[in-house]
C-alpha cells in the first residue's frame, strides 16, 4: 500500500463511516479495486484508521458527552447486543461473508429499505431527546445495530432506523448513532488490532516506516473528512431524509454485481 492508496481509503472511511451506505462495504470494494485486499497490512490499516473517525465524534459532540452521565448508561445498554453477537460471530462473518458479492446484495437490500423508511416512520411532532430513552429502547437500538455485522448493511443505517422505530426523529436517531459508534467502533477496532498483533508476534512481522506513515496520515485524513461528512449528513438528513442514500446503494450494488459477472 502506497501513500496515495492510504489516503484514498482514509477519505472513503471518513465519508462512509457515519453515512447509511456501509463503510465496510466501500472499504472492501476500494481495496479490491486497487488490488491491495490480499496484503497483510490492508485489513489492519482499514481497522486502525477508524480511530481517527471515532475522534471526530468526540470533537463534534463532546458537550453532549459531558452534559449528563445518563448518556453513558444508555450507550452501554445499546452496545451490549453488538458486543455479545460480535464476540460470538465475528470470526465466522469475517471468514464466510466478507466478499464483494455479499456487499452488493446487502447494499441493494438496504437501499430498498432506505427508499421507503421515511414513509414508514413519521417524524414526531415534538422532538424527543435521546437522553430520555428508556432502557429497553436503548437495547432495541443496539439489536438493530448488530445487524450491521453483515458486510454492506451499514452500522449507521441500522442504528438510525432502530432509533426511529423507538420514536426518535431522524436527527436525534443519527446523533445517537454517532455516539453509539464510539464504544462499538472502539471495541471492534481494538479486538481486530489485538488479533493482528498476535499474528505479528507469531510471524515476527514488523510494520515498516512507510506503514507507520500511512497510519498517521490515514487517521488524520479520516478525522478531518469524518467531521465534514457528519455535519453534511445531519443537514441533508433533516431536509431530505434517506431516499437518495437508498438510490445510491442500489445503483452501487447493481454496478458491483455487473462487474463481478463480467469478471467471470
- Domain range enclosing 91: 3-263
The predicted pLDDT at position 246 comes to 94
The predicted pLDDT at position 139 comes to 95
Q: Spell out the residues 6+ positions from residue 218 whose beta carbon is closer than 8 angstroms to its own.
A: 6, 7, 9, 10, 13, 45, 48, 49, 52
C-alpha span between 75 and 135 (Å, rounded) = 10
pLDDT greater than 70 at residue 105: yes
Q: Which tens digit of pLDDT belongs to each residue from 152-198? A: 888 899 999 999 999 898 889 999 999 999 999 888 778 777 777 77
| Pairwise pLDDT comparison (151 vs 146), residue with the higher score | 146
Q: Which of 64, 26, 77 is nearest to 171 (CA)?
A: 64
What rounded mean pLDDT belongs to the chain?
Answer: 87
In the chain, pLDDT over 70 holds for what percent of residues? 92
pLDDT greater than 80 at residue 205: no
The predicted pLDDT at position 250 comes to 95
Predicted TM-score (pTM) above 0.95: no
| Burial environment of residue 200 by CB neighbours within 10 A (0 to 12, 13 to 18, 19 or more) | middle
Average pLDDT over residues 44-63: 90
Phi-psi region of 258 (alpha: psi -120 to 50; beta: other; left: phi over 0): alpha
Average pLDDT over residues 135-154: 91
Q: How many domains does the chain have?
A: 1
The DSSP code sequence of the chain is --HHHHHHHHHHHHHHSSSTT-HHHHHHHHHHHTT-TTSHHHHHHHHHTHHHHHHHHHHHHHHHHHH-THHHHHHHHHHHHHHHHHHHHHHHHHHHT-SHHHHHHHHHHHHHHHHHHHHHSPPPSS---GGG--HHHHHHHHHHHHGGGSTTS-HHHHHHHHHHHTT--HHHHHHHHHHHHHHHHHHHHHHHHHHHHHHHHHHT----HHHHHHHHHHHHHHHHHHHHHHHHHHHHHHHH-SHHHHHHHHHHHHHHHHHHHHH-
Q: Which tens digit of pLDDT belongs to each residue from 19-49? A: 998 888 888 889 888 988 877 788 788 888 9
User: pLDDT band at 248, cuts 50/70/90?
Assistant: very high
The predicted pLDDT at position 1 comes to 84
User: pLDDT band at 94, cuts 50/70/90?
Assistant: low
pLDDT greater than 90 at residue 200: no
pLDDT greater than 70 at residue 127: no
The predicted pLDDT at position 128 comes to 65
pLDDT greater than 80 at residue 145: yes
Amino acid at each position: 500500500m502506497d501513500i496515495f492508496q492510504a489516503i484514498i481509503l482514509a477519505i472513503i472511511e471518513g465519508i462512509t463511516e457515519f453515512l447509511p451506505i456501509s463503510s465496510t462495504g466501500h472499504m472492501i470494494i476500494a481495496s479490491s479495486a486497487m488490488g491491495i485486499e490480499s496484503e497483510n497490512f490492508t485489513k489492519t490499516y482499514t481497522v486502525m484508521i477508524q480511530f481517527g473517525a471515532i475522534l471526530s465524534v468526540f470533537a463534534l459532540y463532546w458537550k453532549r458527552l459531558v452534559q449528563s452521565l445518563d448518556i453513558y448508561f444508555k450507550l452501554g445498554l445499546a452496545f451490549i447486543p453488538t458486543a455479545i453477537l460480535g464476540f460470538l460471530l465475528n470470526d465466522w462473518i469475517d471468514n464466510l461473508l466478507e466478499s464483494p458479492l455479499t456487499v452488493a446484495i446487502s447494499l441493494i437490500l438496504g437501499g430498498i429499505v432506505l427508499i421507503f423508511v421515511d414513509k414508514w416512520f413519521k417524524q414526531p411532532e415534538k422532538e424527543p431527546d435521546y437522553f430520555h430513552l428508556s432502557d429497553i429502547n436503548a437495547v432495541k437500538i443496539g439489536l438493530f445495530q448488530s445487524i450491521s455485522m453483515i458486510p454492506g448493511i451499514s452500522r449507521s443505517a441500522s442504528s438510525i432506523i432502530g432509533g426511529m422505530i423507538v420514536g426518535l426523529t431522524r436527527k436525534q436517531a443519527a446523533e445517537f448513532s454517532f455516539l453509539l459508534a464510539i464504544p462499538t467502533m472502539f471495541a471492534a477496532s481494538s479486538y481486530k488490532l489485538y488479533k493482528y498483533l498476535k499474528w505479528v508476534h507469531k510471524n515476527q512481522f514488523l510494520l515498516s516506516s512507510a506503514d507507520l506513515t500511512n497510519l498517521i496520515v490515514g487517521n488524520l485524513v479520516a478525522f478531518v473528512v469524518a467531521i465534514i461528512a457528519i455535519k453534511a449528513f445531519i443537514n441533508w438528513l433533516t431536509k431530505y431524509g434517506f431516499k437518495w442514500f437508498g438510490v445510491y446503494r442500489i445503483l452501487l450494488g447493481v454496478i458491483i454485481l455487473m462487474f463481478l459477472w463480467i469478471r467471470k
